[in-house]
Amino acid sequence: MHDIDEMSTDAEFPDDGHAEPAGRLLTKRSIDHEVAMLCGLPMKTVNEVTAMFLDLTMSAIAERGELYLHRFGTFTVKRYKGKALAQEQLGKKVPPARRTMRDISKNEIHFKKSRGFRSRLRDLGW
């Protein structure tokens, strides 16, 4: 990835009153639409770029186990060992369909905000 000048990453969003309501779910489509409107690009182009960015992000997290985005934060994968079923621990019989659960490990993705991200949230009143 290329280093991006920090000043160019902060987009100024116009306050035109067309913002999403506070309780409404923000989706990829609504983000694509807003970026297309701000940049004057076709929706199809913005959709392709956003999809490619998300694919690369997910691939990096899956392959390396972590991803650092400057002035945003760090995504890390925490791996936990799977647990045996309680019935097996007590010596009871468990149906064959349920026996495989002990082999499943639990992976969780954690996000830690960067200082820049936290300061922007503070500036926005969070």
pLDDT digits (tens, 9 = 90+) for 58-93: 999 888 989 999 999 999 988 766 555 565 556 666
Do residue 93 and residue 49 come from a single domain? no
58 shares its domain with 83? no
Q: Are residues 47 and 93 in the same domain?
A: no
- The more confidently predicted of residues 120 and 99 is 120
Per the model's pLDDT, the better-predicted residue between 38 and 24 turns out to be 38
Same domain, 69 and 57: no
Residue 34 placed within a domain: yes
pLDDT at 28 over 80: yes
Determine the pLDDT at residue 107.
77
Domain span at residue 41?
A: 26-62
b/e map 17-32, b = 16+ CB within 10 Å: eeeeeeeeeeeeeeeb
User: Which pLDDT belongs to residue 7?
Assistant: 42
Give the model's pLDDT for residue 51: 94
Using an 8 Å Cβ cutoff, are 58 and 68 in contact? no
Q: How confident is the model at residue 48 (pLDDT cuts 50, 70, 90)?
A: very high
Are 104 and 47 found together in one domain?
no
Q: Which residue has the higher pLDDT, 35 or 13?
A: 35
Query: Could you give the C-alpha distances from 30 to 5, 40, 43, 52, 100, in angstroms and in order?
Result: 26, 15, 11, 17, 41
Residue 15 lies in a domain: no
